[in-house]
Amino acid sequence: MRFILICCCYLFFGVLANGQADTLPSYFMEDGKVFLEFDIRDYQDDKAADFSKIFEFAGIDISAIVNDQISWPRNGWSLKKLKNNIYQLQKDLETFDEELSWSVKYKINGTGWTEPTSEIKSQFDSTFISDMSKLSPKLAVISESGNVSFKLKKHKNAKQVILAGSFNNWDEQEIKMLPTDDGWAITLELHQGIYEYKFIADGHWLHDPANSLKIRNEHETWNSILLVGENRSFRLPDHLQAKKVILSGSFNSWNEKVLKMEKKSDGWYLDLPLPPGKHYYKFIVDGKWLIDPENIYQEPDQYNRWNSVLLIH
C-alpha cells in the first residue's frame, strides 16, 4: 500500500515538472481502490517492455492485452477498456499486504525507473534516483543495543571488514565491523524484514559461514539470508515414523535442506522469526512435499502446485 502511495506522488510531480500529462499513465485512488489508466499506444513496439516495469506485470505481452488474450483478474488486478486505446487497471488497496521497505519495493521495478518518453526518464533519474538515499527511510542503524548482531569469526589479520546487505543498498563503506578476540562483530537496529547480506574482508566478499540460510546470487556465489521478525511456530502433526522433516518456503527461497524441524511426541515443530507479510510454505517429509494439514489457507503457484499461506499483520 505504501508503494502505491509513493508511486502516485512521484508520478504526479513528474507530470507537473515535465508538462507531459498526456503521455504518462494516470494513477489515482478512490473508494479503497487504486486505479491506473494508460494509453496502450505508449507501450508498443520498442516501448512494450516498459509496461511490465511500470505496472510490475513481468512477462505480459502488451499485444495480448489488446487482443484479450490474458485472463483477468490477474494478481488482484482487473482490466477495463475505457475507449479506443485507453485502458484502466484497478486493484483493492487491501490486497497490498506486504510490509516491505521503500528501497526494497523500488528494486522490484529494476535498477531505474523507466517511462515511455526518454525526457521524463532523464528528468526522473536526475531529480529522484540520485537523491534516493536522502528520501528513503534508513533500515539499518548501528547501535550497541540493537536487535541483530553480526559476527564473523577468524579473519583476524584483515585490516577492515565491512557488512553490506539489502538493508543498506549493499553499501561497501558504511557499516565497518569492529575487531573482537575471535574475529569481527557489529550490532544493528533493523526493521522487521527479510534481508540478504555479506561480509567484505579487505575487499573479498564472503557469505556468513555461521548462517545456513543462503541463496545463490547473480554472480553464482552465496548471499546469506536474515529473517527479522516475531517468532512463529510451525507444527506438522503425526508423521512420527519420518526420519527428517524440513520446513521450506518463500522466506528462505524454498531451500530444501536448512530448516530442520524438531521431532516431539505428537509431531514436528520449528519456531522461526518472520516479518509481516504474505508467506508461502510447505513441509518436506523424507523428501515428500506436503501442505500444512492444519492451515486452511492455500494458494496455487504458477505451476498449479498448492502451497500453504501464512499472513502476518
Residue pLDDT, tens place only, 183-220: 999 999 999 999 999 999 999 999 999 999 999 888 88
Q: Where do we find the cell 477495463?
A: 80
Better pLDDT: 22 or 145: 145
DSSP calls for 248-300 = EEGGGTT-SSS-BPEEETTEEEEEEEE-SEEEEEEEEETTEEE--TT---EEE
C-alpha cell read off for 181: 578476540
Q: Residue 267: pLDDT above 60?
A: yes
What SS3 state is found at 238? coil
Instruction: Give residue 53's pLDDT.
Output: 62
What is the CATH topology of the domain spanning 230-312?
Immunoglobulin-like (2.60.40)
In this structure, of 86-95, 111-120, 137-146, 164-173, the range with the lowest mean pLDDT score is: 111-120
The pLDDT mean for the chain works out to 79
Total residue length of the chain: 313
Confidence of residue 106 (pLDDT cuts 50, 70, 90): very low
Instruction: Give residue 105's pLDDT.
Output: 36
Confidence of residue 8 (pLDDT cuts 50, 70, 90): very low
Cβ-in-10-Å burial (0-12, 13-18, 19+) of 139 comes to: buried
Q: How large is the average pLDDT for residues 67-79?
A: 76
pLDDT digits (tens, 9 = 90+) for 114-137: 333 444 344 444 444 444 444 445
Better pLDDT: 15 or 171: 171
What pTM value is reported for the model? 0.57
Contact 81, 66 (CB under 8 A): no
Better pLDDT: 87 or 254: 254
Confidence of residue 86 (pLDDT cuts 50, 70, 90): confident
Q: 140-228: CATH homologous superfamily? A: Immunoglobulins (2.60.40.10)
**Where are the domain boundaries for CATH 2.60.40.10 in the chain?**
140-228, 230-312
Q: Residue 311: pLDDT above 80?
A: yes
Integer Cα distance of 273 and 191 in angstroms: 13
Confidence of residue 89 (pLDDT cuts 50, 70, 90): confident
Q: How large is the average pLDDT for residues 282-307?
A: 94
Strand pairing category for 306-312 and 298-300: antiparallel
